[in-house]
A and B are shown apart, each in its own frame.
Chain A
Amino acid sequence: MTLLAAGLRKRFGAVAALDGVDARFERGRIVAILGPNGAGKSTLLRTLIGALRPDAGTILIDGVETGALARAARVRCLGYVAQRPLLAGALSVREVVALGRFALDRSQERVERALAATELTREAERVASTLSLGQQQRVALARALAQVDAAGWLVLDEPLAALDPAHSVHAMALLRAHARGGGGVIATIHDPTSAALIADDALLLDRGRAVAAGPAPATLAPRMLEALYGVPFAQLDGDGLVALLPRPMHRSSQGGGSTS
């Protein structure tokens, strides 16, 4: 019942974007992938969905290599949203979401349900490319929700980065609901605090290697983040929430923590 990556390697010219990554993603859990810029996070996601062919290594879903899956089976298992979804074609929101069913049956019900879940029903006839970046990301998420089965994985590149706090909270609830329904979520998340809020597990990538993986609270401890990013981190607890903040280098110390 897992998505398993073993020994993934991918080079772009002289750069090893993935340098032997092993990772394990369970259903029912949200996994946050963190790492400095250029650590290979997006490359890992693109390789997991099969958009990039790794130079070496295998990806198995429940023991079956993803390359050997029929297209419809693969599509049901793996949905993907890019960091900046490209919605260039002047299609309406509903048309974009309906294309989540491209390789599957054209279930109108799944489309409407995904629109409702992402609160896009009222926007359904608008041209998707004219929406704000945050809304476009929601459209792409709706498309992925219309696409994957309850037991499939949502593979998301920075799903929270472009969202305002309200939509961010809403998106986190959506991802949680998908995990609770038996699906998996794999998301790169830049902000450690957001990662700690949403993720069950964390995977830390550095220069194409998985340097740590495990339950989020332990993996996202300040000393782990310090080792990963090379700057000191502080952990603030309050209101049942945890904030993980990089300490500014100069010591002009801060007042209130972020505890909303």
Chain B
Amino acid sequence: MKSPPRARADPAARTWRRIAAIGAALAALVVLRLFVERPLGGAASFGWPEEAIRTLRMTAIAAALSVGAALGVAGVFLQGLLRNPLAEPFILGVSGGAGLGVTIALAFAWAGTAGSSIAGFAAPEWLPGAELVADAVRQLGLVLPAAIGGIAALVAVIALGQRRGAPDPLALVLAGVVVSTMCGAVVLLLQHLSPQGLRSDLAAWMIGRIPEAVEPALLVVVSALAIAGVALGAALGRSMDAATFGDDEAHAVGVPLRRLRWTLGIASGLLAAAAVTVAGPIAFVGLVAPHLVRSLAGARHAPLVVGAALAGGALLLAADILRQLVDLGGGRIPVGIFAALAGGPVFLVLLRRGKGFG
């Protein structure tokens, strides 16, 4: 990346310096999240937490980082796939579809319990961390239905968002809203039909939350997917750069467009599914993170993907810290509410600017 030749070295180095700065901000937020505390009904303060609390906070940090990274990378992938600056998992109904997948899996007790063909999976004992691996595979019983739901929703939205044979930026967004709303309605129906305990769990999850207690194996699965997403994005960076040209010109320079699009579509479905499984459908992080990084560090996709992963984590962590500090009298406010309130205006600004519309 830091090749010497004159003029070129400068912008590339600057890009990576800015990405590093986002990483530093993220590290600061991690420290802050570890030390900020506010007993219910009390005032916020800083202090070194005792071990049990520390574990909860570490879990929340890990969840925020992996979910934020997954959403940020999924946003970059979807924006590249559709050449649409408004694309992100929530808007396009991918999160909604993934949520429906998770809910169906839970409602029919497919995940981790009887009924799942992979529920009985046991890793060979000689494998280091065999228990965790076995647990992780069982967690796929939740993530896979989510991924199937998310990818199905994406395919439906792309099919519905065509105008005169080509995807239309605004038609895509409208189709996303409709698919999202319909998936939400089915989720609410299933929720309505479920037993009391599951019902309130689902309700909290539907708003979008950063949990302080998660199956460690699920966290492993989601982090692994997020890291794989970053690696894939870094590897496909130049392809995504070249795919910003028109289809014909991208083909002419040698981009295998069809393969690239399938890869990006499936990967963004998997990433959104991973995020939704842990945190519920959180809006706009997948939109704000890539745009924030683009404005700071330029449009080349390889650094953009890395930056969007860091920025996504930082945004969610910031929201999670904010939620520790703000008390409107009703207890801690779910993170999803902060995300929607902060991200909505960004979406509107991008919509009005209309930048990048064909």
Contact = CB atoms under 8 A, between A and B. Distances in A.
Contacts of B252: 49, 51, 75, 78-80, 144, 147, 155
A125 B253 contact: no
A51 B251 contact: yes
Given A78-B252, A79-B252, A86-B249, A108 B8 contact: yes
Contacts, number: 83
Interface stretch (B43-51, B153-161, B207-215, B240-248): B240-248
Given A51-B247, A92-B11, A108-B5, A103 B253 contact: yes
Interface string B29-68: 0000000000000000000000000000000000000000
B254 A85 contact: no
Contact of B300 (A50, A91, A124): A91
Contacts of A95: 241, 300
Contact of B245 (A46, A86, A108): A86
A103 B249 contact: no
B356 interface: yes
B8 A85 contact: no
A143 B253 contact: yes
Contacts of B239: 102
Given A49-B252, A71-B254, A88-B83, A99 B241 contact: yes
B163 interface: no
B254 A103 contact: yes
Interface string A70-112: 0110110011111001111111101110011011100010000
B2 interface: no
A30 interface: no
Contacts of B5: 108
A100 B8 contact: no
Contacts of A104: 254
Contacts of A171: none
A79 B252 CA distance: 6
Nearest to B5: A108
A216 interface: no
Nearest to A72: B254
Contact of A49 (B7, B8, B248, B256): B248
A140 interface: yes
Interface in A41-89: 46, 49-51, 71-72, 74-75, 78-82, 85-89
B242 A86 contact: no
B190 interface: no
A125 B7 contact: yes
B298 interface: yes
B7 A51 contact: no
A75 B253 contact: yes
B253 A147 contact: yes
B340 interface: no
A89 B253 CA distance: 16
B299 interface: yes
Contacts of A108: 5, 8
A80 B247 CA distance: 11
A74 B255 CA distance: 12
Contacts of B332: none
Contact of B241 (A50, A72, A89, A125): A89
Nearest to A76: B254
Nearest to B298: A90
B245 A87 contact: yes
Given A75-B254, A94-B8, A147-B253, A99 B248 contact: no
A88 B248 CA distance: 14
Interface in B218-258: 238-239, 241-242, 244-249, 251-256
B294 interface: yes
Contacts of A99: 238, 241-242, 245, 253
Contacts of B251: 49-51, 80
B255 A51 contact: no
A102 B255 contact: yes
A46 B254 contact: no
Most buried by A among B8, B244, B248: B248
Contact of B242 (A49, A51, A81, A102): A102
Contacts of B238: 99, 102
Given A75-B254, A78-B252, A124-B7, A91 B246 contact: no
A159 B345 CA distance: 41
Nearest to A121: B7
Nearest to A106: B238
A32 B256 CA distance: 29
B244 A87 contact: yes
12 contacts: A71-B254, A86-B249, A89-B241, A89-B299, A90-B299, A94-B8, A95-B300, A99-B253, A100-B253, A102-B239, A125-B11, A140-B249
Interface of B: 5, 7-8, 11, 83, 238-239, 241-242, 244-249, 251-256, 294, 298-300, 356
Interface of A: 46, 49-51, 71-72, 74-75, 78-82, 85-92, 94-96, 99-100, 102-104, 108, 124-125, 127, 140, 143-144, 147, 155
User: Sorted from nearest, which 10 A-B pairs have the closest CB atoms?
Assistant: A103-B254, A89-B244, A80-B252, A90-B299, A86-B246, A51-B248, A75-B254, A51-B251, A102-B253, A99-B242
